[in-house]
Structure 1
């Protein structure tokens, strides 16, 4: 099984609401990163948002290892410039039993700032996600501990945003951001954002690389099946998660639009 490189091909593999789950699939090396990335867009993305790069001193050596794997010189920032995907490095220190974020090179974030997350343990990184501690944290910890060099694992998710830009930093309350959305225009004013995430352990340093490939499309550009899935899923988000995603501000419009497509 693999994961595609577009919203339409990713959504069928994403969680459709309900309980949180990792939903991992195993990739081969040639399925790892997007082929033929638009490197000019990557360069411009980092130039426009330099705060997307945040590094601790511990990222230097694994960053060089990663850059070499991708056939480029430098460290984590240069590696992220050479691919479509944003990239984060996590490491477990000898006196700790959890992983920390030691470096991030993120041009297209999904509403987060690397400087705010740098150095945090994995559970603290995910603290804003409703249900993570209860439903997913222990499983993620076990996976990270047992991940070996070689295998590549992937998963995907989805968000609804009020912008089609690949860099999404919420700058106003959801009720304001989605105020213009109606059932009639939801196909053009709601944007479906999917993260294609991969995990692998670097063989020399043992750090774990987490990549995030961003794909965004207007709701109306998606397949009828995917629109129907989103219409169902937005109604079944776990308690608290829908609020974090701003769902109350757009859910009625999305559901009504999806029903119209299905009719």
Structure 2
């Protein structure tokens, strides 16, 4: 159902910094420092993304499209997409789910804050979209390890990103497979499998690893008392991403070493962190 649709390494964002901290990391979309100042990211792999989304939606609809979005919100998404890309998509949830390379989440501005009312998430990064329906920012991020900075800034993040301005954020992960869809209930290559494959081949674990980035953008719709959160998944083999710039291996090693035990455990990397760091900075 899923599988690897990789982005060329030279086009992958590199948001790796150290010390590693779970922080908001928001910037205004279109700021001078943004290499890609667009709400959406459409590229040559659009058809492959659509095919993989279609498979998810056909096989397990409850995973890929949850809740309902107002027609006016769907129209606003379609209009924004057409304005940027020149591609017209029908303003209904299924057409947008397949047509956008991004997944999206619609939030309603209610008395007690903004809550999710519709999630079109075909490519989750090891989380279950069904568990996020009806939740506010704090509840959504409650399971995230070392989430104090995120939670402390929650009210300001929501106000800025979903009521005032289009915003951008990148989140990076290391995964032992290149699948776009990484639902926790789906059997995929696990870290133990990647270690075994590396040992059998007599090679490096980092050659079995993928660099995964969530490019997150927001679309405030204050006139509708709504906001939309977009998640664009980009994946490439880690070794290829590291080869783009010689300093990246050391930067990644420092970031991994600075992660708390809680973050490492949350990402399932407790058994592999030291080996990865040893391969990134061999003595």
TM-score (ref. length: structure 1) = 0.83
Distance in 1, matches of 2:224 and 2:209, equals: 42
Q: Which residue number corresponds to residue 162 of structure 1?
A: 176
Distance in 1, matches of 2:265 and 2:189, equals: 11
Q: Which residue number corresponds to residue 106 of structure 2?
A: 89
SS of residue matched to 2:100: coil
Distance 1:120 1:59, change over 3 A: farther
- Structure 2: gaps of 5 or more residues: 1-6, 31-35, 83-88
- Structure 1: gaps of 5 or more residues: none
| CA drift at 1:113 | 2.3
Residue 116 in 1 paired to residue 131 in 2?
A: yes
SS of residue matched to 2:224: coil
- 1:53 pairs, out of 55, 59, 64, with 64
Q: Which residue number corresponds to residue 107 of structure 1?
A: 122
Residue 209 in 1 paired to residue 228 in 2?
A: yes
Distance in 2, matches of 1:143 and 1:65, equals: 22
| CA drift at 1:161 | 0.8
Distance in 2, matches of 1:43 and 1:210, equals: 19
| CA drift at 1:237 | 1.3
| CA drift at 1:173 | 10
Distance 1:123 1:177, change over 3 A: farther
| CA drift at 1:243 | 0.2
TM-score (ref. length: structure 2) = 0.78
Distance in 2, matches of 1:70 and 1:12, equals: 25
| CA drift at 1:176 | 3.1
Deviations 1:188-234 (A, max 9, x none): 21111111111220254131111111111222112332222221111
Q: How does 1:1-263 map to 2 (within 5 A)?
A: 11-28=13-30, 31-36=38-43, 38-50=45-57, 51=61, 52-71=63-82, 72-93=89-110, 95-96=111-112, 98-132=113-147, 134-147=148-161, 151-170=165-184, 171=187, 176-180=192-196, 181=198, 184-223=203-242, 224-260=246-282
Distance 1:23 1:9, change over 3 A: farther
Deviates more, 1:16-25 or 1:119-128: 16-25
1:14/1:155 contact within 8 Å kept: no
Distance 1:8 1:137, change over 3 A: farther
Q: Which residue number corresponds to residue 86 of structure 2?
A: none
For the aligned residue pairs, the C-alpha RMSD in angstroms reads 2.8
